[in-house]
Amino acid sequence: MIVVGVGVGFLFALLVLVISVVSFPLLLDRDVSIGAAVSTSVRAVIVNPIPIAVWGLIVAGGLVVGSIPLLLGLIIVMPVLGHATWHLYRKVVPS
């Protein structure tokens, strides 16, 4: 049961990464619909699967490390990840 639970959790995390890695910054930057933002994010993941997978591991690792000291590390980790996500979006999606 643990293996199935971890597997299902991984699939949910992968789904969230695929639909949101570019869509949130895109929605903040441009006047586009949610559907267009999500489809842009999915296309970005299809074109760049390895860098996006590495980015997902960096985010997961950063959140784990930030959570260890009574969640106080998230005060530093969250803004750094947000800023880095913005730069990832600007590299992946052309102007």
Instruction: Count the helix, strand and coil residues of the chain and give each as a percent rounded to the nearest 5.
Output: 80, 0, 20
Confidence label for 95 from pLDDT (cuts 50, 70 and 90): confident
Query: DSSP string spanning 36-63?
Result: HHHHHHHHHHHH-HHHHHHHHHHHHHHH
Copy the structure tokens of residue 13.
Answer: 């995390």
CB atoms within 10 A of CB 22: 25
In tens, the pLDDT along 30-72 reads 999 999 999 999 999 999 999 999 999 999 999 999 999 999 9
